Amino acid sequence: MSDAAYPTQWRRPPMMVKSRFWRIALTVGAIIYLVLALGTIEVNYARVVEGLSRAQRFVAGFLQPDFTSRSRDIWIGIAESLTMTFTSTVVGVLISIPIGLGAARNIAPRAVYLVCRSIIAVSRSLQEVIIAIFFVALFGFGAFAGFLTLSFATIGFIGKLLAEDIEDIDEAQAEAIRATGASWVQLVNYGIQPQVMPRLIGLSLYRLDINFRESAVIGIVGAGGIGGTLNTALGRYEYDTAGAILLIIIAIVMVAEYSSGYLRRFLK
Amino acid sequence: MSMATPQTAVWHHRTPKTRLAMWAGWLACVALFVWCWEMMTERTIWAFVYDAPVAANDLLGRAFPPKWDYIERLLWPLWDTMNIATLGTLLGIVLAVPLAFLAASNTTPSRHILRPAALFLIVASRSINSLIWALLLVSILGPGILAGIIAIGLRSVGFIGKLLYEAIEETDIRQIEAVTATGASQAQILNYGIVPQVLPTFFGISVFRWDINIRESAILGLVGAGGIGLQLQASMSVLAWNQVSLILLVILGTVVVSEWVSAKVRHAII
């Protein structure tokens, strides 16, 4: 072996993919995909140019939002969204507690476990908007369909996280309660509830936050709330009202995020 | 906490005052719930609600069996949906990476001006759902997948930006100091000290967001932003529920596959 075999320059080793062949193959594949995918974008430039003046008006509307001329519609939308958010979170959490208990492997029998897990899987795999479409078709337009949608989505979210939390509890405490001859209900009440309660409250507050965001969206398909008002405002090309609604949504989301974060730290 | 007053023989977990306060708290919650419920259902037409079982029966009867041969007309929209999600994620990454470096407290060039601005952009992007972004962009750019891509991209900025700047803030300071001690420039510190530490997290976040974006892009068509949602909207407006059920099955299948892919990739990286 001669000296030339030793490199005098340091080169950084590849960070992600070790084999040279796969690095090249992945790069080439990515480039081919990008060319194909970008090729399918059809842009109607005449329409875009026409839209630019609208974009300008939208930005202007955002900078000078109009809260007053449609204030009644906005107020109804906000009130519907907020009440829908709160009631659906409460109902969703209440229903998800038994389902979460049933979906925890360490305290539920196998048959119950499978049923509860499949309820959770169904609730989680469907988008809120798709559920909302169905509930609007079944229960008519308005906040009630939205309330059902958000409750249904809450069940999957809280149920899954609660079940995982119960599966992770300190078994020693549950064992101690069992050793006193406690029934199943007493075991849940004294052995498990104190361990998971702080996290359950935190999750509920987090879900409240998510439900408000979602309530702004499901209104677009007719399930009540501020989304419907926004859709109407954009349909009428009233960008100043739309800007006002968006600003209100951002403000409420920010307040909800900070206060729920603060509350969760306080409850810990 | 567990103050047993001498008079009572029975042990109580909480003092009477705390119990009273908790009781008042629960009462307030219930009262708020009832008040909200009243306000929410003010405008509900109960006849439709009572009619729901009949409607559900009717709907299910029309929806099954799904119209299988409609699948030919779904393949192209499905490809569009994949493109919206992937290109949207790429757009989100391109916008989010610089924002994340501006927002992280250890890499930001100006703590008082650029950092709050970057944080505000990240929060604003996160608080507006991609469907609302799409609604805006369709009215500006016209219907089509371009609006969908930009909508997905703008929503992804907040998500990727937030998780990435938190990852940057959690980097190991010793590695950065070691690189600094060799006399490296700012760019070199970034390249050799920080990037290798956050790269696995970055890929994990991107793939995770891609998985979420597949779900979101499936419904963007409802407001005209391209993809399989357009077909969903068209089928619903002609009440072709057997097509709707097939579309939902296709969406569900795509979501399951993308979730599997993203779990595999994340497992391989981390």
pLDDT computed for residue B3 by the predictor: 54
Of the pLDDT bands very low, low, confident and very high (cuts 50, 70, 90), residue B160 is very high
In terms of average pLDDT, the best of A17-26, A112-121, B6-15 is A112-121
Question: Could you tell me which chain B residue has the CA closest to the CA of A133?
Answer: B236
Q: Report pTM.
A: 0.79
Residue bearing the bigger pLDDT, A199 or A268: A199
Are residues B144 and A42, on separate chains, in Cβ contact within 8 Å? yes
Fold of B72-269: MetI-like fold (1.10.3720)
Which DSSP letter does residue B10 get?
Answer: S
Give yes or no for residue A91 having a pLDDT over 90.
yes
Q: Where are the domains of chain B?
A: 1-32, 72-269
> What is the per-residue pLDDT across B63-80, written as a single tens digit (0 to 9) for each?
778 778 777 888 888 888
Residue bearing the bigger pLDDT, A74 or A263: A74
Task: Give the closest residue to B32 by CA, choosing from A158, A239, A87, A9.
Answer: A87
Residue A250 forms contact with B (CB below 8 Å) = yes
From A15, A51, A90, residue closest to B33, measured CB to CB: A90
Percent of chain B with pLDDT over 90: 14
Q: CATH no. for residue A156?
A: 1.10.3720.10
Say if residue B65 is preceded by a cis peptide, omega within 30 of 0.
yes
Mean residue pLDDT of chain A comes to 84
Give yes or no for residue B190 having a pLDDT over 50.
yes
**Segments forming the whole domain that contains residue A181:** 60-267
Query: How many structural domains compose chain A?
Result: 1
pLDDT computed for residue A158 by the predictor: 92
Kindly give, in sequence order, each residue whose CB lies less than 8 Å from that of residue B180, ignoring residues fewer than 6 positions away: B189, B193
Of the pLDDT bands very low, low, confident and very high (cuts 50, 70, 90), residue B10 is confident
Give yes or no for residue A93 having a pLDDT over 90.
yes
Residue bearing the bigger pLDDT, B45 or A180: A180
Are residues A41 and B149, on separate chains, in Cβ contact within 8 Å? yes
Average pLDDT over residues A188-214: 87
ipTM: 0.75
pLDDT computed for residue B5 by the predictor: 53
pLDDT computed for residue A9 by the predictor: 79
Average pLDDT over residues A114-137: 86
Task: Give the closest residue to B61 by CA, choosing from B236, B231, B241.
Answer: B241
**A209 found inside a domain:** yes
Of the pLDDT bands very low, low, confident and very high (cuts 50, 70, 90), residue A260 is confident
CA B43 to each of CA A142, A151, A245, B37, B232: distance values in angstroms, whole numbers, following the listed order? 7, 19, 21, 11, 28
pLDDT computed for residue A1 by the predictor: 47
B179: its two tokens: 């690189």
From B33, B59, B136, residue closest to A137, measured CB to CB: B59
pLDDT computed for residue B222 by the predictor: 85
Question: Could you tell me which chain A residue has the CA closest to the CA of B223?
Answer: A220
Pick from A163-172, B9-18, B29-38, B192-201: least confident: B9-18
**A148 found inside a domain:** yes
Of the pLDDT bands very low, low, confident and very high (cuts 50, 70, 90), residue B234 is confident
Kindly give, in sequence order, each residue whose CB lies less than 8 Å from that of residue A100, ignoring residues fewer than 6 positions away: A116, A158, A159, A160, A161, A162, A163, A166
Average pLDDT over residues B181-193: 88
Average pLDDT over residues A149-157: 92
Percent of chain B with pLDDT over 70: 97
